[in-house]
Amino acid sequence: MRIHPFDPLKTVSWANGTSTELFVYPADGNFQTRDFTFRISTATVEVEETTFSDFSGLTRILLPLKGRLTLIHEGRYTKVLEPFEQDQFNGAWQTRSKGKVQDFNVIFNKQTSATVIHHLLNSAQVKTLQAQGSWHFVFVNDGVFEVNGQNLVSGDLVEFESSDAQPIDIKCHVEGNILECIIHHTDTDNAED
């Protein structure tokens, strides 16, 4: 288990808000040049309407942590997302959004696939997870949790060894929301466009 605490030095401004990188693979991956396998981040959208950047060749999973977000995929569909509801879409699509939000993002290339699962835990509740996939993460949105004797607070991203067959017990001390993020290697020959 490795904890990646929230690092304000990894927060950068963009035209309509901020973005904080939580994890990128490989470690020397470059978001600006799109030279990475996958990236996990949070962001704020501080204007009512914005146009998404082109992420051709990549797939995105996005879900609001605070606020309501409307995603408009031009010529495809429109989806309204309440907190912790998600949409997965092609990064090459022309996409606009409406709503001021804080959101959670996973962007990945054809060598990987990703799944994000939301869990709301009440005080004193224990959630047991099984490490799986090539990478397995838990992001703490709010609340206070404990794993293997270590306290986790808002903004922490915990990386688990997927090869470890031991179950992961997450103890909740203060009610809150966590996101489980599972990344798998894929067979690139059969990857969808």
Asked if pLDDT for residue 34 goes beyond 60, the answer is yes
- What average pLDDT does the segment 41-68 reach? 95
pTM of the full predicted structure?
Answer: 0.92
> Of the ranges 42-51, 73-82, 155-164, which one carries the lowest mean pLDDT score?
155-164
pLDDT band for position 165 (50/70/90)? Answer: low
Mention every residue, 6+ apart, whose C-beta is less than 8 A from residue 22. 4, 6, 10, 40, 41, 42, 139, 157
Domains of the chain: 7-108 (2.60.120.10), 112-185 (2.60.120.1030)
Per-residue model confidence (pLDDT) at position 188? 54
Give the whole-angstrom CA distance, residue 68 versus residue 101: 7
How far is Cα 114 from Cα 133, in angstroms, rounded to an integer? Answer: 9
Nearest to 112 by CA among 148, 136, 140: 136
pLDDT confidence of residue 38: 97
Mean pLDDT taken over the chain: 91
